[in-house]
């Protein structure tokens, strides 16, 4: 349990996707789980990335947490991608990714990865291996660009496995998130008619 808590703490401290500095003093980040506090920015303290020793512990702990959170999400029921969303994303993803992905709305697990991430109101969805947990039903039913982002993570899990995904995320979450944001932007532009 101590390893999981350490991984969560390190993950939160290292991830701007979870908590953006809003009203903290310079050199600190606002960290929100069940409440918000300002903590020293580990990135500034440790330099460009997490030390290897920390990611060697944090990666497997995050993988376990993601797997357990995925199992909890599956118990309460999931659905396949809505047909209209799936059809629009065939241009970007092969059927193997689209067929593997499931979704649900909301997360009841108090200590799950999805619940922790959803503490940030800017997070619209979280991918737990092959289950995408959306904050709202509206986003799940209509936000094709958000689906594109989360499906990139499903594809990454397929390519790297849960352990590989978690290890990469703890080492450099920006490198994991960048392709997801890229496809999200591309899909959004195409759907708005800005790109062919």
Is residue 176 within 8 Å of 167, Cβ to Cβ? no
Is residue 184 domain-resident? yes
pLDDT grade for 16, boundaries at 50, 70 and 90: very low
Is residue 128 domain-resident? yes
Q: What is the pTM of this model?
A: 0.71
Tokens of 181: 């944001």
Is residue 131 within 8 Å of 104, Cβ to Cβ? yes
* 85: pLDDT strictly greater than 50: yes
Q: How much is the pLDDT for 41? A: 60
Is residue 181 domain-resident? yes
How many domains does the structure of the chain reveal? 1
The angle at the Cα of 13, spanning 11 to 15, to the nearest 5 degrees, equals 65
Is residue 177 domain-resident? yes
Is residue 196 domain-resident? no
Note the pLDDT tens digit of each residue in 126-147: 999 999 999 999 999 999 999 9
Helix 144-191 to helix 2-14 angle (10° resolution) is 20
Residue 65: which domain range? 55-191
Q: Is the dihedral of CA 112, 99, 150, 147 positive or negative?
A: negative
């Amino acid at each position: 349990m101590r390893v999981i808590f350490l991984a969560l703490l390190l993950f939160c401290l290292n991830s701007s996707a979870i908590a953006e500095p809003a009203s903290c003093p310079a050199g600190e980040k606002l960290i929100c789980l069940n409440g918000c506090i300002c903590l020293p920015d580990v990135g500034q303290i440790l330099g460009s990335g997490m030390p290897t020793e920390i990611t060697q512990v944090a990666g497997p702990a995050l993988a376990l947490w993601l797997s357990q959170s995925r199992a909890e999400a599956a118990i309460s029921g999931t659905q396949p991608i809505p047909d209209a969303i799936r059809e629009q994303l065939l241009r970007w993803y092969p059927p193997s990714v689209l067929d593997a992905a499931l979704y649900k709305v909301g997360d009841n697990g108090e200590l799950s990865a999805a619940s922790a991430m959803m503490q940030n109101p800017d997070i619209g969805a979280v991918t737990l291996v092959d289950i995408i947990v959306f904050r709202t039903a509206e986003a799940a039913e209509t936000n094709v660009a958000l689906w594109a982002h989360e499906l990139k993570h499903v594809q990454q899990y397929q390519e790297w496995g849960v352990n590989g995904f978690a290890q990469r995320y703890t080492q450099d979450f920006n490198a994991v998130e960048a392709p997801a944001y890229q496809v999200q932007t591309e899909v959004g532009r195409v759907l708005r008619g800005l790109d062919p």
